Amino acid sequence: MLLADAPSPAFSWNLFTDLQEMWAYPFMVNACRAGAIVALVCAVVGWFMVLRRQTFAGHTLSVAAFPGASLAILLGLSTSLGYFGFCVATALVIAALGRKGRDAGAEESAVTGTVQAFALACGYLFISLYKGLLEGPTALLFGSFLGITTGQVTVLAVVGVIVLAVLAVIGRPLLFATVDPEVAAGRGVPVRLLSALFLVLLGAATAGASQITGTLLVFALMVIPAATAQQLTARPGLSLALAALVGLACCWLGLIAAYYQPYPLGFFVTGIAFAGYLLAHLVRILGEARGRAGGSRAGGSRARRSRRRGSSFPIGGTA
């Protein structure tokens, strides 16, 4: 059952009653479960992605989900298989073709752009061969929280547990290799291997999110919560927890808004996340301004105390 088939509900401002009514529909239960899983996984993986400045790679992996799902539909296979297969394969290609060393970043950007262009071309070819209805490509690009099945929730949960478990194991050396790769390599940390492994995890997380948000709105849950958290604090643990909370809040508030309003869910999720990012940016600017004002007042007080001590001595330098 899709949301469009349900009668138009009215928000009563009694949150308990509204949630009971909303969760009476199985598709909303599945949407909330899938949204929670994807929000948590994307927040953690996205936090490392933003810190490693690999948002372009993340965008390319989300684009690769489009030809993956298109090919799966063309061949009559599960779209989940297409999403995960193409995203992980694209991550391995980027990792294999990239170079290490001082120019690794520029080389990875060039490889990523090349792969992205080819992936888009393949997606368009598969859609042309499919000759399906227009709703097919639209769903692939913009996704559907509300049509997700219990089987998809199970797949998302299994993949999410695996991704988070691997990140828990490699998190510390990955953070070290992200902050200072040359020193990390000098200490024996396998920087290149960690980079390739992280790209695979990023591909798996992107494939999971693409099934819900669509390939074009993956960044709503992958980048914005992590960027918002990093605006507020530089402490890794607190920043990760904040990113997860922001992602979960955006996802669930977007679902509630879309349940009561006849507008696209992707807009609500992305709009709420963007508003949170702007608010966090404003908080950071105000905090920095208050810090500078406090520093100026402290400096002025020290200068006045110094002048007062200087004026207690008579002119000529003798007491």
Q: What is the pLDDT of residues 98-151, one digit of tens each?
A: 766 556 666 677 888 888 888 888 888 888 887 765 455 666 666 666 677 888
Reported confidence tier of residue 279, pLDDT bands at 50, 70, 90: very high
Name the residue among 206, 221, 228, 216 with its Cα closest to residue 160: 206
Q: b/e string for 34-69 if b means 16 or more Cβ within 10 A?
A: bbbbbbbbbbbbbbbbbbbebbebbbbbbbbbbbbb
Residue 310 confidence (pLDDT) above 80: no
Distance CA 40, CA 244 (A): 5
pLDDT of 141 reads 66
Task: Please state the rounded mean pLDDT for residues 198-202.
Answer: 92
pLDDT of 129 reads 84
pLDDT of 234 reads 87
222 contacts 207 by C-beta, under 8 angstroms: no
Residue 314 confidence (pLDDT) above 50: no
Q: Give me the count of residues in the chain.
A: 319
Q: What is the mean pLDDT of the chain?
A: 81
Q: Which of 227-231, 307-311, 313-317 has the highest mean pLDDT?
A: 227-231
Residue 316 confidence (pLDDT) above 60: no
Task: For 160-193, write each residue's pLDDT tens digit.
Answer: 999 999 999 999 999 999 888 889 888 888 988 9
Residue 278 confidence (pLDDT) above 90: yes
pLDDT of 243 reads 93
Name the residue among 282, 285, 263, 262 with its Cα closest to residue 274: 282
78 contacts 68 by C-beta, under 8 angstroms: no
Distance CA 13, CA 20 (A): 13
Residue 296 confidence (pLDDT) above 90: no
pLDDT of 119 reads 85
Residue 317 confidence (pLDDT) above 50: no
Distance CA 163, CA 61 (A): 16
pLDDT of 101 reads 59
Reported confidence tier of residue 59, pLDDT bands at 50, 70, 90: confident
